[in-house]
Amino acid sequence: MQLGATSITIVTAIAVIGLAALVVAAVLRRQVLAAGEGTASMQEIARAVQEGASAFLSRQFRTLAVFAAVVCALLFLLPGDSGIKIGRSVFFLVGAGFSAAIGFLGMWLATRANLRVAAAASGPDGRAEGARIAFRTGGVVGMAVVGLGLVGASLVVLLYRGEAPAVLEGFGFGAALLAMFMRVGGGIFTKAADVGADLVGKVEQGIPEDDPRNPATIADNVGDNVGDCAGMAADLFESYAVMLVAALILGRAAFGEEGMVFPLIVTAVGALVAALGVAITRVRGAESGLAAINRGFYVSALVGVLLASAAAYVYLPATFAELPGGTTGLEGHAGDPRLVASLAVLIGVVLAGVILWVTGYFTGTTSKPTLHVARTTLTGPATVVLSGIGVGFESAVYTTGIIAAAICGVFLLAGGSVPLALFLIALAGCGLLTTVGVIVAMDTFGPVSDNAQGIAEMSGDVTPEGAQILTDLDAVGNTTKAVTKGIAIATAVLAATALFGSYADAVRTALDEISGGLGGDLVEAMMSYDIINPITLVGVILGGATVFLFSGLAIDAVTRAAGAIVFEVRRQFRDNPGIMTGEVRPEYARVVDMCTRDSLRELATPGLLAAFAPIAVGFGLGVGPLAGFLAGTIATGVLMAVFLSNSGGTWDNAKKIIEDGSYGGKGSPAHAAAVIGDTVGDPFKDTAGPAINPLIKVMNLVSVLIAPAIVAVSVGEDANHTLRLTIALVATAIAFGAVIASRLRAAKVDREGRLEHEAQLVG
């Protein structure tokens, strides 16, 4: 399919908008860096955080570069036209590079904005100025996400025209794979440091969270940046890229040429919306920072819907019969494509707004669920953990139900046409992502304000009024982080559902090219999508089980890494009594290095599981069971991700309520119970939960990429079942070999920990 001159002009204009977004990011970056840097003590602490974060990401990128090179080479082994394979492999590296660049930018700027927010808090307009700096820091990353996403996707369309969706699969896969690794690696680092710092510092030694005497406090602040800033920025960028992949594949099938171009137009609207959202988000007087952020989000979301609807009425025809090259059957659809597309975008934006509200309700410091969890601290840590788990389970049902309702609404909008419904789901995702620039800004606000409070507490150079402002901003940041995780989960589900349709399209296309029939009842069952088929149901079960295994591996990795930090912090306090009196400086760098080493060592297992589990199921059981596998992954993944994220967010803000003076305040038994709940929630909300988003999309993209190869070796005259089963066995061995290696590491760490504990008792 060739693109017309008008479409080429529009795509070129979209690429220019992407470049303009990058220019806006550069302007915002200059504004952030122009703010005052505070005292020499603040700058020294911030420098230590900067060095630690840069060292971690540099080592992580060197590790991932080797993995990316191997995957790039493997993409050449997939069947297809050589030109497409080259383009797909090249843009796999481009997608991975963009994802890494977004993550590094988020980390780099956040580690320089944190002390500027801390310094601004003691100024004459501390609340407004601190919030402005923190939000605009996120605005830089948000505009970069939009800009690089538009430039990358537009470049592929301009170079490959009608074949762009196949090449974009590589672009989205590169972004998703790297984002998943950054999510897992950064999450393990940040929560190992956080849990270790809290358990020894707060619970055992009774010192504040960011006390400079705690050897893990610098590592904790480093972790906020490599986990929340770098990890979430990369996560949302890959959501942006993957959603465009699905939208263009399904758009070409449903709407023809217009279907390939219109999703790009909708996401280009997002660049304008992001700039507007960042510009209008200002704290007025003594109002809450959360109120200002919510206002900016809702106004920009409304403008996004209006602009996307205007674009639909200008670009799309008035009837389905006027759409060239669409899916057979849509020509007789009675609806108006302009109205249908506009409503799909509206559903996506409304979904984002509703999830923002629901997540804020379940995790906010003034909401009933969080207040209930805070009250349970009076009866000890067990009831805190139980109440937080209950809130997480309940919130997962409501959030998942809302996402399901949005998908049903889109299906009804399509009038029962499955190809159209899948494309409209992708458009709803693009509509949700019109707000991605503001969403990234909201997320980055959290770790920047958290770091600012840490720098203020460690330096002691902030006024009491400024310290309270930073505490308030930190609480707002906890809520915005939880909210953006909820929206990221919704984006992942919409993208995965749309990719599900892309997978079906890839299988159908591959089967059309097969000659000689399917080859018997067994092979026919392997090709069946019927859920009542036992082998397809096996795929569903395995998909759900993979999410549980992935989550367990991530949490267990944090447990091992945090255990090592606990022993190290205890050792430093024991061997250097001068640390507690302030006479001896703790060995901050040693803890940072341990977190870096342990997180990178644990990185491979979840990544290999995500990449090779679909290969094992697809080649071993067939494309039908692989479809079931993806369905099980999506259904279980959304429930698990929301449960983990909201439980952790609730525990975190319940702790904030206690630290603000409720139920005895800091140092009370209630506070100790709240800290235990928070440490349980840390790997929930910042490691396993967020990593499920890219996991779902990685496994969907792997499935889309390998579907033609599965069909080629499974059916027809050229079927090769020996090769098929060999590939399945090798993939299974790699996936479970990584899990077994993780178990062996766990046993070794347990032995070392037991010996360390015995040595401490002797000492």
What is the residue-wise DSSP string for 735-751? Answer: HHHHHHHHHHHHHHHHH
pLDDT above 70 for 635? yes
Q: What's the CA gap between 571 and 576, in Å, rounded?
A: 8
Count other C-beta atoms under 10 Å from residue 606's C-beta: 30
DSSP single-letter state for residue 551: H
Q: Would you give the distance in Å from CA 345 to the centre of its chain? A: 21
Please provide the DSSP assignment of 284-327 as one string: -TT--HHHHHHHHHHHHHHHHHHHHHHHHHHHS-SSGGGSTT--
The pLDDT, as a whole number, for residue 639 is 93
- Three-state DSSP at 145 gives helix
Reported as a pLDDT band with limits 50, 70 and 90, residue 527 is low
Reported as a pLDDT band with limits 50, 70 and 90, residue 334 is low
Q: What's the CA gap between 218 and 48, in Å, rounded?
A: 7
Quick: pLDDT tens for 385-410: 999 999 999 999 998 999 899 989 98
Ramachandran angles phi, psi of 225, nearest 5°: -80, -45
Report the percent of the chain where pLDDT is more than 70. Answer: 93
The pLDDT, as a whole number, for residue 347 is 93
Quick: pLDDT tens for 205-239: 888 767 788 888 888 888 877 877 777 788 888 88
Report the percent of the chain where pLDDT is more than 90. Answer: 19
The pLDDT, as a whole number, for residue 327 is 47
Question: In the chain, what are the domain boundaries?
Answer: 5-281+296-762
The pLDDT, as a whole number, for residue 541 is 94
The pLDDT, as a whole number, for residue 565 is 86
The pLDDT, as a whole number, for residue 282 is 80
The pLDDT, as a whole number, for residue 361 is 87
pLDDT above 70 for 522? no
| Cβ within 8 Å of residue 748, ≥6 positions away | none
pLDDT above 70 for 181? yes
The pLDDT, as a whole number, for residue 528 is 65
DSSP single-letter state for residue 124: T
| Cβ within 8 Å of residue 269, ≥6 positions away | 304, 307, 308, 311, 434
Count other C-beta atoms under 10 Å from residue 324's C-beta: 11
Q: What's the CA gap between 677 and 671, in Å, rounded?
A: 10
Quick: pLDDT tens for 152-178: 989 998 888 878 888 888 898 888 888
The pLDDT, as a whole number, for residue 148 is 92
Which of 367, 348, 371 is CA-nearest to residue 359? 367
Q: What's the CA gap between 743 and 200, in Å, rounded?
A: 26
Show the tokens assigned to 697.
């999309």
Q: What's the CA gap between 258 and 252, in Å, rounded?
A: 8
The pLDDT, as a whole number, for residue 329 is 58
Higher pLDDT, 523 or 606: 606
Residue located via tokens 């506009």: 342
pLDDT above 90 for 187? no
Q: What's the CA gap between 632 and 763, in Å, rounded?
A: 52
Average pLDDT, the chain: 84
DSSP single-letter state for residue 718: T
Among 203-212, 335-344, 512-521, which is the least confidently predicted range? Answer: 512-521
| Cβ within 8 Å of residue 88, ≥6 positions away | 75, 166, 167, 169, 170
pLDDT above 90 for 322? no
Quick: pLDDT tens for 54-107: 888 888 888 888 888 888 888 888 877 788 888 889 999 999 999 889 888 888
Beta strand segments in 557-640, E: none
Identify whether the C-beta of residue 264 lies closer than 8 Å to the C-beta of residue 149.
Answer: no
pLDDT above 50 for 693? yes
Higher pLDDT, 240 or 306: 306
User: Taking residues 289-295, what's their average pLDDT?
Assistant: 79
DSSP single-letter state for residue 603: S
Burial (0-12, 13-18, 19+ Cβ within 10 Å), 734? middle
Show the tokens assigned to 684.
């929930």
pLDDT above 60 for 520? no
Q: What's the CA gap between 242 and 257, in Å, rounded?
A: 19
